[in-house]
């Protein structure tokens, strides 16, 4: 009880719109003592966008 820990959650967005997720932390029974299950609602925020790659190609616009 009253302990703290840090958990890093990493998310890579493939879309421009925000995403939502639920993080469940379920305790393990140790020595007959049960801990609480913690539930967190996670929401992403897209602040910066970089292209994954740039492709250059040539092709005719129209062919009969």
> What are the pLDDT digits (tens) for 3-52?
888 888 888 777 788 889 999 988 887 777 777 888 999 998 888 777 77
Beta-carbon contacts of 43 under 8 Å, excluding residues fewer than 6 positions away, are 18, 19, 20
pLDDT at 9: 85
Kindly tell me if the per-residue pLDDT of 64 is higher than 80: no
Kindly tell me if the per-residue pLDDT of 1 is higher than 70: no
CA distance readout (Å), 10 to 13, 30, 44, 46, 50: 10, 29, 10, 13, 17
pLDDT at 54: 87
Can you give the pTM of this predicted structure?
A: 0.54
* Alpha-carbon span 41 to 19, nearest angstrom: 11
């Amino acid at each position: 009880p009253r302990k703290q820990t840090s958990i890093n959650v990493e998310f890579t967005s493939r879309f421009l719109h925000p995403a939502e997720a639920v993080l469940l932390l379920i305790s393990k029974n140790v020595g007959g003592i049960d801990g609480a299950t913690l539930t967190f609602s996670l929401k992403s925020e897209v602040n910066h966008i970089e292209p994954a790659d740039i492709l250059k190609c040539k092709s005719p616009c129209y062919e009969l």
